[in-house]
Structure 1
Amino acid sequence: MDQWQERKRPVCLEKRFEFDSYSSTRDFLDRLGEHSEATQRFPDISFGRTYVNITLRPEQDGDAPALSAADRRFADEIDGLLG
């Protein structure tokens, strides 16, 4: 999965990141944790030895949740953590 996948039910963005080693996976998770703390935005995360699945739900809750430019920008910021 190279791109963020947009789902309609429930409204969210999803992406799977794959790594060569557990060490690389942990490094990414550490960077993601630091970034989440700095931005106060916390995605849903599941992971294994060499992968991380991330789900971003709309930042704004309401009767008709929708993904915003801020949600997509946060997804781009997560992509930037791969460096």
Structure 2
Amino acid sequence: MMTHPAVLASLLEEYEMEWELRAAGPHGPVRQQMEDVVYTLCVSTGTRDIDAALVAARERLGTAWLEDAEAAAGDGRALSGTAE
């Protein structure tokens, strides 16, 4: 089962936001939120560390548009989003 690209995009955005907050100061709640996001990214990407999770998530997001286009072509929808 693969995590939906929208979920991965949201997790990456949250990770980047938490990273910036953490850089401002390692507060308890921020630290816990960062740990939660790191854990969720790792689980969502099937990896064991944040570096691998970030690479996997970004790679998945980079190919998500291709999968959407293939699905659209497979069910007869126009790729441009307009009906023919």
Same-fold call, TM > 0.5? no
Q: Which structure has more strand as a fraction of its residues?
A: 1
User: Which protein is bigger by CA-based radius of gyration?
Assistant: 2
